[in-house]
Amino acid sequence: MTDEENCNTSANRSLLDVLDARLSRRNALRVSLGGASAAVLSACGGGDTATAANAGPTAAAKRGPGGGPLRLSFEAVAKSTADRVTVPAGYTATVMYALGDPLDDATPEFRNDGTDTGFETRAGDHHDGMEFYGLHAGGKRPDRSGSVRGILAMNHEALTDQFLHPAGSTPNPRPVAEADKEIPAHGLSFVEVRKQGGGFGYVRGSSYNRRVTPLTPMRIHGPARGSLLMKTKYSAGGTDCRGTINNCGTGTTPWGTFLTGEENWAGYFTRSATDNTARGGSTSKSVVSLNRYGRSQGAASRHGWETAGADDRFARWNISQTGASADGTDDYRNELNTFGWIVEADPYDGTQALRKRTALGRFAHESAAFGIPVAGRPLAVYMGDDSRGEYIYKFVSEAGWNAADANAANRITTGDKYLDAGKLYVAKFNDDGSGRWIELDIANPAIAAFAAYDFADQADVLVNARLAADAVGATKMDRPEWCAVHPVTGEVYYTLTNNSNRKVEPSGSSQMAVDPANPRSYADAPSTSAGNVNGHIVRMKESGGDGASTVFTWDIYLFGAESGADPVKVNLSSLTADQDFSSPDGLWFSPRTGTVFIQTDDGAYTDVTNCMMLLGRPGQVGDGAPQVLQYAKADGSMVSVRTHVGAKPTPDTLRRFLVGPVDCEITGICETPDGRAIFVNIQHPGESISRATVTDPASYLSHWPGNAGYGAGGATARPRSATIVITRDDGGRIGVDGGHDDDRGGDRGGHRS
């Protein structure tokens, strides 16, 4: 692909106009491919040429009557602490798939009083990342451009366990009946949804409906398959494993499969207080690895499932070394190594085993976002590791992209082709606005010479990617959450949600100093403890627009802040009351409009507003200016940090679109291919609840969605995580009007009258 700079030479059109025109050409080709996602396009240059040659009359048809420049077209939603979902005037949000909803006809309706069982055939808890997979209107086969029926694939990250039982969660030892509800309430849902009236509903009894749980058999793929590190009592060959847990962000592949990231999995496992000795002492490799991933000896498990009984489905949550074998095939000492991966599933085919893609590295995964595929070139997959001071990664496939694979008949083996062999990189941000991708390879001298851990082979590097990234001096970031790729520029955006350990003068090994890519440390009254309280969004531009590049430039798209905060030290993006936000987490670009959806998981601004979703129309790296932040040290001397701030948003380029109910997180966002419906997840409303008060509805912080008329319980209901669908009352595209792709007034595809 040609350099992005060469594509943007027009002197008379705004950047957003240029992006809009490119989007139009891209969308035209998408249609001509039958909806295959971004199959062969580069962001500019050759991509545009290919489009012009191939799109033919479709392009003109899709441009339709036009409607001026593409623009955000809704009135900003005000901040709110109301226990409801608020969307702009002219939009409707409808609850459609909540915790406990039955997937088949045999499972009873959800009573929502803690007595419900059988989560293997119900919606799980804590809805998180989510993707839409179109079905033909007849519902019998995949149709990637289908907007009338589809499959929602989503994560169920965690539990509000108190609400799953009549009188809350029983302390250890855990009753079998409680553990057997809690374990399968995690995992994934695949659920058919179908247009009903102006909105969507889920299809109970659809043959596409299924749950994946922490007990579902899966295959280990990539370089760590069969490794000594992966051998367990369950799989002596180290080739198989059971289940996925704490699934947070998602991704969708160019060949139509679903990717799910395993995030805070370590906390589900316990280690005995003497396990270091059992493993050969505190400097033994497995102990160094376990400590680096958050499981020091004596750590308690989050839910105590290992106390529910001797059966293997409970015993595996205790990862202490108890067996006599040399290789760990008689206990679960290596069980933790089977978690922390990007996992691939075929949403259309439940007969295919899910695959853990070890080539992409093991850490606290969020989303997995593909760079724009270019025919013949490797694919890039961007990923983040969400913990304070962790890193930003990318995987570059060995195989070059073959556009025909967008419609491959066997999707999961297509995944083998692209995701089982390649290079894993970690990002280093330089002070001057440049950056470097450092390969995590066993042959890298810094990895071979690393004193803290003696890597045996490439499987060891991938299983212990955090340690390998330590070895090469990667940049510690402010908790990388989701990443997303701009569908036209190909630039990569990462939410950095917040970091209480970011300091001007760090002390101890867990704190880190302000730096150009993580430049803020300030207190948010009444707290006097400084850190990156509100988070920011960094973006990166690969050299030459090539996802396989090892150098990039970067700036900071947005700094989260309260609109009234200090404009010199905190509100660096000059956010107004219609735009201000804190703790960005979910992040996704509409491939159709290039609009970015920013979702929050916040605890800092929640005295003023519940968590929210904003829509933005970003420019590109370098559209702003450098800025120097000055900090006074305790001894009176000054520290200067020079960062790179992107163009400040205007009311036309960033607006709040949604505010959620009380004590929730907004996460998970996808749309129908026609852009007329979006799906959003409301995670854990009213999650702050104790065993002591769970039987008293007056103590609940939230009663949503019962108080919105959904399901049992009404105004005093136990709160439930749920998927909502948002449509526009005039049938238009969500959030935007105009643009070269504007087809208002055309066929609205069966929209309600």
Q: Which residues bind Ca ion (CB under 5 A)?
A: 248, 481, 585, 601, 665
Of 335 and 481, which CB lies nearer to Ca ion in the complex structure? 481
8 A C-beta contact, residue 341 and residue 357: yes
Residue 101 interacting partner from Ca ion, ligand FEO, none (CB closer than 5 to 8 Å by kind): none
CB atoms within 10 A of CB 327: 13
Phi, psi for residue 598 in degrees, rounded to 5: -115, 125
Query: Judged by CB, which is closer to ligand FEO: 143, or 366?
Result: 366
Find which of ligand FEO, Ca ion, none residue 262 binds, CB within 5 to 8 Å per kind. none
Contact 70, 593 (CB under 8 A): yes
263 binds, among Ca ion, ligand FEO, none (CB under 5 to 8 A by kind): ligand FEO
- Encoded one letter per residue, x for contact with ligand FEO by CB under 6 A and - for no contact, window 555-594 reads ------------------------------x---------
Judged by beta carbon, residue 458 or residue 667, the one nearer ligand FEO is 667
Cβ closest to ligand FEO, residue 461 vs residue 496: 496
Q: What is the 3-state secondary structure (H, E, C) of 135-193?
A: ECCCCCCECCCCCCEEEEEEEECCCCHHHHCECECCCCCCCHHHHHHHCCCCEEEEEEE
**Least distance between Ca ion and beta carbon 476 (Å):** 18
Of 362, 462, 367, 346, the residue nearest 413 (C-alpha) = 346
Task: Restricting to residues 94-153, name those near ligand FEO by CB under 6 A.
Answer: none
83's contact among ligand FEO, Ca ion, none, with CB below 5 to 8 A by partner kind, is none
Among 125, 157, 390, 687, binds ligand FEO (CB under 6 A): 157
Residues 45-104 that bind ligand FEO (CB under 6 A): none
Backbone angles phi, psi at 421, to 5 degrees: -140, 135
Helix then strand count (H, E) for the chain reads: 11, 34
Query: 44 vs 613, which CB is nearer to Ca ion?
Result: 613
Q: Would you say 263 or 420 has its CB closer to ligand FEO? A: 263
Q: How far is the CB of 57 from ligand FEO (least distance, A)?
A: 45
The closest of 124, 23, 103 to 684, measured between CA atoms, is 124
263 lines the binding site for ligand FEO (CB under 6 A): yes
Q: How far is the CB of 39 from Ca ion (least distance, A)?
A: 29
Chain centroid to Cα 178, Å, comes to 29
CA proximity to 129, closest of 420, 374, 386, 395: 386
Under the criterion CB under 6 A, does residue 4 sit at the interface with ligand FEO?
A: no
Q: Are 303 and 267 in contact (CB under 8 A)?
A: no
- Cβ-Cβ contacts under 8 Å for 632 (sequence gap 6 or more): 638, 639
Choose between 249 and 594: whose C-beta lies nearer to Ca ion: 249
CB 362, min distance to ligand FEO, A = 16
366 binding ligand FEO? (CB under 6 A): yes
Closest CA to 711 of 106, 94, 98: 98
The least distance separating Ca ion from the CB of residue 366, rounded to whole angstroms, comes to: 6
157 binds, among ligand FEO, Ca ion, none (CB under 5 to 8 A by kind): ligand FEO
Tell me the closest approach of the beta carbon of residue 128 to ligand FEO, in angstroms. 6
> Considering the complex, what minimum distance in angstroms separates the CB of residue 561 from Ca ion?
18
743 binds, among ligand FEO, Ca ion, none (CB under 5 to 8 A by kind): none
Helix (H, G, I), strand (E, B) or coil at 437: strand
Q: Which amino acid is at 255?
A: W
Are the beta carbons of 43 and 1 closer than 8 angstroms? yes
- Distance of alpha carbon 39 from alpha carbon 58, whole angstroms: 16
CB of 534 to ligand FEO, least distance (A): 16
Closest approach, Cβ 397 to ligand FEO, in A, equals 25
Q: Which is nearer to ligand FEO, 366 or 602 (CB)?
A: 366
CB of 585 vs Ca ion, minimal distance in Å: 4
Chosen from Ca ion, ligand FEO, none, partner binding at 116 (C-beta under 5 to 8 Å by type): none
Q: How far apart are CA 96 and CA 710, in angstroms?
A: 8
The binder of ligand FEO chosen from 33, 148, 245, 248 (CB under 6 A): 248
CB of 600 to ligand FEO, least distance (A): 11
Please say which residue, 548 or 598, places its beta carbon nearer to Ca ion: 598
By a kind-dependent CB cut-off of 5 to 8 A, residue 741 interacts, out of Ca ion, ligand FEO, none, with none
Instruction: Tell whether omega for the bond before 526 is within 30 degrees of 0, i.e. cis.
Output: yes
Which residues lie below 8 Å from residue 567, measured CB to CB, with a gap of 6+? 574
With CB cut-offs between 5 and 8 Å by kind, which of ligand FEO, Ca ion, none does residue 20 bind?
A: none
One character per residue 511-550, x = contact with ligand FEO (rule: CB under 6 A): ----------------------------------------
φ and ψ of 201, to 5 deg: -135, 165
The residue with its CB nearest to ligand FEO is 248
Which runs of E-coded beta strand occur in 207-246? 210-212, 217-221, 240-242
How would you write 606-652 as a 3-class SS string? CCCCCCEEEEECCCCCCCCEEEEEEEECCCCCEEEEEEEECCCCCCC
Options 125, 161, 331, 386; binder of ligand FEO; rule CB under 6 A: 386
d(CA 303, CA 296): 17
Which of 481, 542, 562, 602 is close enough to bind ligand FEO by CB under 6 A?
Answer: 481
Question: What's the min distance (Å) between Cβ of 550 and ligand FEO?
Answer: 27
CA torsion 666-340-559-734 (nearest 10°) is -40
Residues binding ligand FEO: number (CB under 6 A): 7
Output 36 or 670, the one with its CB closest to Ca ion. Answer: 670
Nearest to 534 by CA among 514, 562, 501, 569: 562
Mark out the alpha helices in 205-284 (DSSP H runs).
Answer: 275-278
Binding partner of residue 555 among Ca ion, ligand FEO, none, CB cut-off 5 to 8 Å per kind: none
Residue 644 CB, shortest distance to ligand FEO, in Å, is 25
Report in angstroms how near the CB of residue 699 gets to ligand FEO at its nearest: 26
Residues that bind ligand FEO (CB under 6 A): 157, 248, 263, 366, 386, 481, 585
